[in-house]
Structure 1
Amino acid sequence: MTEPSEGRGHRAARDTRKQVLLRLDPAVHEALRRWAADELRSTNAQLDYLIRRALREAGRLPSGARPPARRGRPPAAGAEGEAPDAPERDGE
């Protein structure tokens, strides 16, 4: 008998980023927004960066944690004949 977790639907749920409702003091939110803008990040990306850094410094970042999302827009599918997640090649 197969486990329900082996189905395609479970993988999609596991691969989805989790949503969290966060209530912040308006002054803290504004400071975070300005800091994110200074770093050329969205407020969400800045929070992700800060939480990951805090977890890493505390030795609590799980080894299975995926790397943070790459900055900028994802490449268009099929751009220049490469898959969207294909690594860039030097000298070609």
Structure 2
Amino acid sequence: MAEKKRFLLRIDPKVYDALEKWAEDEFRSVNAQIEVIIKKALKDSGRLKKSGKSNENEED
């Protein structure tokens, strides 16, 4: 498996709380939820091509 890039994210506590609840509702970690949201936004904007591979935590 390819290594993932790490970075620090500063986020408003109210936004984090909402994101945490959303992730919990979908049985994901906050990190996985953020990645799903970003990937969807990138695909929707045409900035990320849809690959043939999928991850069990991704929504394609």
Task: From the CA coordinates, give the structure whose radius of gyration is larger.
Answer: 1
Report Cα offsets for 1:16-70 as digits up to 9, x if no partner: 1011110000000000000000111110010000000000000001466x644x3
Q: Which position in structure 2 is the counterpart of 1:18?
A: 5
How far apart are the structure 2 equivalents of 1:63 and 1:51? Answer: 13
Alpha carbon RMSD of aligned pairs, Å?
1.9
Q: Which position in structure 2 is the counterpart of 1:44?
A: 31
Residue identity over aligned pairs, in percent, reads 43
Tell me the number of residue pairs that the alignment of Structure 1 and Structure 2 aligns. 56
Where in structure 2 are there 5+ consecutive unaligned residues? Answer: none
Where in structure 1 are there 5+ consecutive unaligned residues? Answer: 1-11, 72-92
Q: Which runs of 4+ in 1 moved over 6 A?
A: none
Q: Which amino acid aligns with 2:3?
A: T
Q: Which amino acid aligns with 2:43?
A: R
TM-score by length of 2: 0.79
Q: Which one scores higher on RCO, CA 8 angstroms, separation ≥ 6?
A: 2
TM-score by length of 1: 0.53
